Every structure is written in C-alpha cells, then in structure tokens.
Amino acid sequence: MTLSPLPTRPPEAVAAAAKQNTGPARRRRPRPGFIREQLSGWGMITPAAVLLLLFVFLPAILGFGLAFTNARLVSPRPVEFVGTDNFARLFTDPTFWRALLNVTYFAVVVVPVQSALALAMALLINKKFRGVNFFRTIYFLPVVTSMVVVSLLWMFMYRREGLINELLSTFSFGLIQGADWLNDPATAMPAIIALSIWQAAGFHMIIWLAGLQSISGELYEAAQLDGASRWHQFRYVTWPGLKHTRSLVLVTITIQALGLFDQVSVMTQGGPLDSTTTIIYEAVRSGFKQQETSYASAISLVFFVLVLLVSAVQRYLTREKD
Amino acid sequence: MSTKFTKILATSIAAAALTATLAGCGKGSSSSTTEGPKEITMWTHAAGNPAELAATQSIVDSYNKSSGAKAQIKVQAFPQESYNDSVVGAASAGNLPCIVDIDGPNVPNWAWAQYLTPLKLSADLSKNLPSTVAKWQGETYAVGYGDVALSMFARKSDLAAAGVRVATIEKPWTKDEFQDALTKLKALGKWDYPLDMGTAGTGEWLPYAYSPFLQSFGGDLIDRKDYQSADGSLNGDKAVEWAKWFRGLADQGFMATKSGKDSTQDFLNNKSGLLYTGSWAGDKTREALGDDLAVMPTVDLGKGPKIGGASWQWGVTSGCNNTDAAMDYLSYSLKPENVASVIKATGGIPATDEAAALIPAFAEGGANRVFMEFSRNYAVMRPETPAYPFIATEFGKATQDILAGADPQGALDKATKAIDANIKSNGGYQK
C-alpha cells in the first residue's frame, strides 16, 4: 500500500482535514443565492410534507400499532395489546386465503392484458391524422368516469336480461344464452376483470403514449433507410425505447390490481361464495361493518407488506443492468 | 428575484396554515355541535327524505315556540348511508349531539358503548307497540314513533286463477300450503318466477327479511337465554331445515337467487305473482292495484309467522349537557298528533292506538290497519345484544352464500363460529 505510486484519492485523515478546512470557509462565503434556494425548496416541500405526514404516515403508523391490539370501532372497553392474535386468526381464515387467491388471479390476468391493450391503443393513436384527438378522448373517457358509476352501468349490462346477454343471443341467432354473469361463482371474477381492464386501459395508454413520443423520430428514419419492416421498427426501436415506461406501467398496474375494491363493493360484495372478495374488501368489511378495527388493521398491514414485496421484486427485475 | 421568492414563501406558508386549519377541524372545534345549555342539537338520518324531515322539523319548531321549552332544538340531517358512520365518528371525537336517531337493532350496541343514556320520559310508553321501545339489560334507551311490518302482497285475481286461498291473520299459510300455492302459481306460467323475496337486497335487509323465517322454523340468530352463543340456534337442525327450505325455493324455480333491484316495481310490472316486502310498499301497490291487492301475513313455518321488529328510534346521548331538555323534547314529540304527522310522512305503522286514530288508513277498519296487527302479533325483536351488528353481517353473508349454493350446515357453522368468537373476544358484551 505504501508503495502505491499513484494514489488516486487522499488518505481518509487528510480528506477529513480538507473538509474541515473548506467547511467553515464555505459557511462564511456561501454561493450567492444558496440560502434563498434552500429556503424556497423547504417552503415548497412543506405543504406536501405536512399533508403526507398527517394523512399517510400517521394513519399508517397507527394502523401498524392497532394490528397488535384488540381495538374496536365501537366499544367501551380499553384497548389491550394482544400480540399476534389477529394475525393468527387471519392466517387460519379461509376467506382471507380466498381473497389473496382472487387478487392474485386478478393481477395475473389484468397486468399483461391491460398493459398490452393500452400499448396497442397508444400505438394506434400515436400518429398525425385528422381527428386523432377525438380518438384519444374516446379511449380516455372511461378513466375520467368514476369507478362507482362505471360499475353501476356494467351491473345492468351483466344482468341476465342485460345488454351483453341480449347481444350474445342476437348475434348467435339465439344459440348462446349468456350466464348470470355476476351471480355465478365461475363468471363473477372474469366479469369484473373485463370491466376493470376496459376502465383503466386508457390511463395507461396515456403513459405509453408519453413514452412513445419521447423516442426520437430520427431513429425511425434511420430504421426506414435500413429497410426495417414495421415489425422490426417496433421490435428494435420502439420496444427498447419504452424500457422505463414499461416498468412504470407494470408497477402501477400491479399495485392497482392488488388494491381491487370499488368494483367488488358495488357489484358483488365479495360474493357469490367469496369468488370476488379481495384483501381490501375484507379489511373494509371487518373494520367498518363488523367494527373490528384491529383485525382490519392486521389485514391492511399484510396488504402493505404484499405491495412492498411485489414492487421490490418488480424494481429488481426491471432495474438498470448497466 | 426577491419578489418571486417572497411570493413562493408566502404561498407555502399560506398552504401550510391551511393544512393546519383543516387538521384542526377534527379536534372538536367544529361549531356544528357546540351547544350551550339553551340550545341542543338533534341528528337525524332523514336528509334523503324531505317529507320525513319536514315533519320532524315542524315538531321541533312547535316545541321551540312552546312556552314550556327547556331549550331550543336544532335539527341536523344526514343522508342515511353515512349516518351511522357520522355518529361513530362524532362519538370517538367526543362530539355527539344531545339527541340522535338510531336504527332499532343498533340500540344495545350504542348503549353498551356508552353513547346513549337511559331514557327518563314523562310520556307513558306502556301502550306503545312493543317493538317501538328499545330496551337493553332492563333499561329503555330509545323510543320510536312507529314500526314497519313485513308482509306478502299478491293480486287477488291471480290467487283466484290459481285456486289459492287468501291467507289471513286468523289462518296464515302453512309451509305446505305455501309450497302448494307456489306450485299452482308457477303452473299459471304468467311469470318467470312466481315469488319475489327481494334476494338482491344487501346489508340490514338480509337479517331483517330472512331471520324471521329461521325463527318461524324454530331456530334463531343467537340463544336468547344469555346472548352468549349462537351454537345450536343458528346451526342446529331447525336452522339447517330453514336453509334447505330457503335454497329450495330457488331450486324449484319459485324465486330468483338474485331478484331485480326494485322488487315492488317488478311486482307492479307483473314480473312476479307474490311479493315479500315491508309495509312501506303498501300505499304504492294499493294505489296501482286498488281492490285487487291482497295484503297477507307471511308464512307459518312451524312456530307461527314471524316478522322483524323495530325501526328508527330516538335516544339521548350520555355526553349531553342538558339531558333534562332532551328528555322533555322527546316526551313532547311523542304526543299522538306529533307521532301521527311523522308517520304520515314516513308511511310507517304508528306506535300507539291514539296516534293510529288520527290517521284514517290506520284507524279501525282502515286499509293499513292490517300492518298494525302484523306488528302486534308477529314482531320478534332482532336479538337485543351489542353483538347484533356483527351477527347481522355474518347472517347476511351466510344467507347469500346459501342462496349461491353453499352447503347449509357448513355456512351456518362458519357464521356461528365467528359470532361466538366475537362475543368471547368482547368479554360477553357485559355492561
């Protein structure tokens, strides 16, 4: 070590001394405008930070704590620490495992189908032609409609005498008699999946579109000069260019899929036979309808860990490899 | 540069201040419930029902103007869907108003939670319909102006065509007669399903509408001896028999496992022959069908016809700083003419004979008198225990599962187990 001819960095003690030397000097003569920038930076963070602390971090911490007690929504009894009782109960509850299974099923179907559909839509409207804004609006329309309203409308369509069954029967000349979609354990979840994909595809289309427009047009020109086909252009220019957008879309769709609630609450209330119940739905049911705040907190905590895991895995898989 | 900076700073401070103010609102600074001894607040769930709200308001107005008024009452109305949440939220913030209205079966839960204080009224409640007085552990916590009653509606012409007799209070349909009636009605081929039990209903409708059948079979939601266990009551032989019968109605094609959203309208549109619903549908169906309408008691499945008791009622909160005035107002509001005016607006069954005498439809010989008889003869209170909200959700889910094809014994066992565990974890819900 002592023989090292070209020390690339000063030994640590020297570095520390150097820092001490420059430190006070900097404090004495700050870069012009430095304090001002610092102040305005903190000023701009404050409102968001306060809101986050108050409505996200504080409830989250309280929720974690409550999961280990026997707190209830309505009760004259003092709150007691009960350890992991709630979790023991949760992991022996078949409804919870069913909810987990349902959410997994939902995510496994929705994530690939919805992102592919959204990408296809984005590719279709990423052109310059008359009326492109009209189509962009049309595809985006379901997103701005409240999920509750969408669910209510689709509920009518899914009924036994509803629009979907009428169409099926008309176009098959009476050969196909549709199911009672939301009231049959076999079709209830697929029905909710179809609706969810339709509703949120527009949102992810916009994200894809932003990604598509960030790809330089010169790359396509070069590809065309090289005689690349449309497929090759997509395969070798578009797809690699969408790398970051891809991971963003994947993570957001997965987390949204895990948090499935509105549709279930409006359309099926978890039924029939628990075929559509979800983790969040179970948490809301326990916490508000059954007044078991602590049990609902335990469910939420498990949900939190699950989301954390999934996004960590996705971050790892889609990480920068270079 | 410097003005820009000042602007940014000012905006940030304003935003932070606003946030702090918003947050502060939760801390009991809300003016809506600050009440001096001379003014007390009353909450009602009737915001979605202008007629009922107006009737309540006019009682309050007349009390406020009366010489004996001990305080000025201020009415605050909430939509029914968010009412319970508002009360629970206000209670945890220590912000409850003096007078609240409560859905009858929730009274023991709120009494146990010490939201409510026992009533000490000058009005005499002994002549009230029993289901309009809510008691828990020997004390009265709430009183209602009226009740509603479940019943069966049909067209007399349909029954005659099928050769089915009209059921009466003296002679309700038995289980076999009901089966026979449904078979004959179905044979008419007039409807997809001859019976509409409102199976699309959710929430409190499920225990309210279907636990009376369970009770008529001889089962119950809980053992009412000491309200400590549902074992044997909710999952015993009688309960399983009920579940199989109920599911059987769907299996035989008598009713849909999920009916339409508005079963009264479906009945009037001739989509069903027999409608099982509450007395609130009485006026509407009578208006549409006139003399052809048959209002019948529900079925006797062994232990006589049963219907759920208790509707919305009034109580006084334990944190009220002018209990005297609150009790005084409630006593005043229970005068027959006041009860009659609210009942006219809500379409319920008046709580007393004196009030009934003031409403032609409920007076002796009136068209709706029959509902009062149903209530007097058949009403069973939903179990008067703080566990009821929990029992209701478990029973509702079990019923839906059974309709969807779950094994009756399994579904009922699961509900029983959950209910017993809940009671145990709350120390038996003792006072």
**Best of A159, A180, A291 to mutate (most B CBs within 10 Å, chain B):** A291
Task: Report the alpha-carbon distance of residue B52 to residue B132 in Å, rounded.
Answer: 17
Confidence of residue B100 (pLDDT cuts 50, 70, 90): very high
- Give the number of other Cβ atoms within 10 Å of residue A148's Cβ: 12
> Cα A65 to the chain's mean position, in Å?
25
Confidence of residue B363 (pLDDT cuts 50, 70, 90): confident
Using alpha carbons, list the distances in angstroms from residue B121 to A128, B141, B317.
77, 11, 14
**Residues pairing with B295 in the sheet:** B153
Confidence of residue A99 (pLDDT cuts 50, 70, 90): very high
Q: Is B258 on the interface with A (CB under 8 A)?
A: yes
Q: Do A74 and B113 touch (CB under 8 A)?
A: yes
Q: Do A50 and B19 touch (CB under 8 A)?
A: yes
Q: Which amino acid is at A133?
A: N
What pLDDT was estimated at residue B18? 52
Q: At what angle do helices A132-144 and A188-213 cross, to 10 degrees?
A: 130
> Cα A49 to the chain's mean position, in Å?
22
Residues of B with CB below 8 A from A272's CB? 400-401, 403-405
Q: Is B13 on the interface with A (CB under 8 A)?
A: yes
Q: What is the CA radius of gyration of chain B?
A: 24
Residues of B with CB below 8 A from A290's CB? 389-390, 393, 422
**Residues in chain A, how many?**
322
Confidence of residue A1 (pLDDT cuts 50, 70, 90): very low
Is the per-residue pLDDT at B6 higher than 80? Answer: no
**Residues in chain B, how many?**
431
Q: Which long-range contacts (CB under 8 A, 24 or more apart) does B324-327 make?
A: B324/B70, B325/B37, B325/B40, B325/B69, B325/B70, B325/B71, B325/B98, B326/B40, B326/B71, B326/B98, B326/B99, B327/B119, B327/B120, B327/B121, B327/B122
- If one compares A45 and B347, the residue with the highest pLDDT of the two is A45
Six-digit token string for B159? 């029954």
Range with the lowest mean pLDDT among A58-62, A219-223, B22-26, B47-51? B22-26
User: What value, to the nearest 5°, has the Cα angle with vertex B189 and ends B186 and B193?
Assistant: 50
Q: Is A214 on the interface with B (CB under 8 A)?
A: no
Q: Which helix (H) or strand (E) element contains residue B317? A: strand B312-317
Handedness of CA B324, B330, B335, B341 (dihedral sign): positive
Is the per-residue pLDDT at B247 higher than 90? Answer: yes
Task: Report the alpha-carbon distance of residue A283 to residue A293 in Å, rounded.
Answer: 9
Q: Quote the pTM value.
A: 0.81
Confidence of residue A171 (pLDDT cuts 50, 70, 90): confident
Write the CB contacts of B409 (distance below 8 Å, at least 6 apart in sequence).
B235, B240, B243
> Phi and psi of B147, rounded to 5°?
-140, 180
Chain-wide mean pLDDT for chain B?
A: 86
What's the average model confidence in pLDDT over B169-190? Answer: 92
Task: Report the alpha-carbon distance of residue A270 to residue A277 in Å, rounded.
Answer: 4
Is the per-residue pLDDT at B41 higher than 60? Answer: yes
Minimal Cβ distance to B88: which of A44, A73, A77: A73
Task: Report the alpha-carbon distance of residue B221 to residue B374 in Å, rounded.
Answer: 21
Chain-wide mean pLDDT for chain A?
A: 84
Q: Write out pLDDT tens, residues B373-426.
A: 898 889 999 999 999 999 999 999 999 999 988 899 999 999 999 999 889 888
What is the interface pTM, i.e. ipTM, of the complex? 0.78
